[in-house]
């Protein structure tokens, strides 16, 4: 789990300098439940990571989340996203190990598209 926090931070291009003590247990609409992969992030960091995921896929929050119930696991895309978080973390652990070098991100394959974009 510790390796996911650096992954999440790699996805956040700018962090709020004044991020307070609020942890990833509440969101803009209220209590966040069912946070499984990005535990330990402050609320502003978690929101930025989620927005980065959305931008990487060219989608909005409701692509993975049920409107009005962000904790719901009813959408397959949310379950897929959790697997993709593990995939990206694994890539970074195995192949992108230089702390000053590039890191794998969702955008690396998705490039703003729902399905990964691979050009010859």
Domain ranges of the chain: 4-110
Which residue stretches of the chain are H helix?
4-11, 43-57, 76-94, 106-110
Tell me: pLDDT of 5 over 70: no
Between 3 and 44, the more confident residue is 44
Write out the two tokens for 74.
Answer: 């009813």
Write out the two tokens for 56.
Answer: 């990487």
Q: How do residues 7-16 score in pLDDT, each as one tens digit? A: 555 554 333 3
Q: How do residues 46-98 score in pLDDT, each as one tens digit? A: 889 999 999 999 999 999 999 988 899 999 999 999 999 999 999 999 999 99
- The DSSP bridge partners found for residue 23 are 42
Largest CA distance in the chain: 46
Q: Topology of domain 4-110, per CATH? A: Photosynthetic Reaction Center, subunit C; domain 2 (1.10.468)
């Amino acid at each position: 789990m510790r390796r996911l926090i650096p992954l999440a931070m790699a996805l956040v291009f700018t962090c709020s300098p004044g991020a307070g003590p609020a942890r990833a247990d509440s969101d803009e609409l209220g209590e966040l439940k069912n946070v499984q992969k990005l535990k330990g992030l402050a609320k502003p960091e978690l929101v930025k990571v989620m927005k980065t995921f959305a931008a990487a896929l060219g989608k909005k929050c409701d692509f993975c989340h049920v409107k009005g119930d962000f904790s719901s696991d009813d959408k397959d895309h949310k379950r897929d996203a959790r697997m993709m978080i593990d995939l990206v973390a694994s890539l970074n652990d195995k192949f992108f190990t230089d702390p000053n070098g590039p890191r794998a991100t969702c955008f690396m394959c998705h490039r703003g598209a729902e399905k990964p974009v691979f050009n010859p």
